[in-house]
Structure 1
């Protein structure tokens, strides 16, 4: 099964696994559709800073096409790159957006990690999904719902992986990323 991609080429419905790659460039080249766009944007901000950890996400939306994300932690910042195909009718065919966001780690107030565990008949426990959130001091820009009217909500970054969407390797790498961010939150910056 494949789906139409940026520039007219077909994309596989199941993407290659990035989790075996320990360096950002190799992982991005294995997994992202547009690694050069992502790496150029990230490199302009990193400017030689060490990449302590990262996580990647990519999926195909039936309306907008490919959605891609890279999140890098250099110890003091989270650098997020997001690339997304422009919906039909909102730009020339093959158009995409590329956006960058830099979040100081000092603005992360809470790191949450929820793992769903599955116990086999033999008693072996395995992780079959993980959800991670990073609560920020900034406020969410989304308009409040009726029940939340007048109540500000803090911005949060959310990431998830399952056995079907990423596999055990990507689940482990996302958990590793969450632990890295948790280890630097609240520490004095040198």
Structure 2
């Protein structure tokens, strides 16, 4: 955000829907506050690779302002961009971080997708939320903990990527696009690259 841009608390809580846009650039320009920053960072890694699927997320919180994320699958890796406003106490007005992470699909060990379904009055079943996780072979943290028997044991937690959409946060279109993204990654995990 530029110093002349709107303050984070002036931004609407509901953002334009990116789900109708089939290509990454159009979706990012419709949905992200900082599409140029995201597309430039992603383009430096993708370098013309075919984007097979993607998902986008954005929200506003009162501490850090705008938080944005793009996750792209090009068939061999996941390329993640994350942009987040810096809290006022940690930098000049308008400061943000821009982070990039590349995860080879060979590092994804499990894909999970949980749908919450509702049925109103005997009518058709409707998906009202979806939660997706991608379990990675890398470790998030390891340390000592205690189990029920009070003995010390080593706790190991694998790194995971988590994504979620609801009817209130994204709507039916973004729920469907996230499910589509999860199916794409699931179809590629474990296959020879």
Which TM-score band applies after superposition, normalised by the shorter structure? Answer: over 0.9
**TM superposition shift of 1:146:** 5.0
1:162 aligns with 2:145: no
In the TM superposition, 1:56-95 aligns within 5 A as 56-95=56-95
1:46 aligns with 2:46: yes
The 3-state SS of whatever aligns with 1:12 is coil
Unaligned 5+ runs, structure 2 = 148-152
In the TM superposition, 1:118-129 aligns within 5 A as 118-129=118-129
1:101 aligns with 2:105: no
Using the alignment, how far apart are the partners of 2:26 and 2:36 within structure 1? 11
Unaligned 5+ runs, structure 1 = none
What residue in structure 2 maps to residue 173 of structure 1? Answer: 177
**TM superposition shift of 1:120:** 1.2
Whether the aligned pair in 2 keeps the contact of 1:64 and 1:86 (CA below 8 Å) is yes
What residue in structure 2 maps to residue 187 of structure 1? Answer: 191
Q: 1:33 to 1:147 in 2, by over 3 A?
A: farther
What residue in structure 2 maps to residue 17 of structure 1? Answer: 17
Whether the aligned pair in 1 keeps the contact of 2:114 and 2:132 (CA below 8 Å) is yes
What residue in structure 2 maps to residue 28 of structure 1? Answer: 28
Q: Mark the structure with the bigger radius of gyration.
A: 2
Show structure 1 runs of 4+ deviating over 2 A.
5-8, 143-150
- 1:77-122: per-residue Cα shift (whole Å, max 9, x none)? 0000000000111011110000000000000000000000000103
Matched residue count: 184
**TM superposition shift of 1:13:** 1.6
Using the alignment, how far apart are the partners of 2:63 and 2:116 within structure 1? 30
Whether the aligned pair in 2 keeps the contact of 1:79 and 1:103 (CA below 8 Å) is yes
TM, length-normalised to structure 1? 0.92
Whether the aligned pair in 2 keeps the contact of 1:28 and 1:35 (CA below 8 Å) is yes
Q: 1:127 to 1:147 in 2, by over 3 A?
A: farther
Whether the aligned pair in 1 keeps the contact of 2:85 and 2:95 (CA below 8 Å) is yes
The 3-state SS of whatever aligns with 2:90 is coil
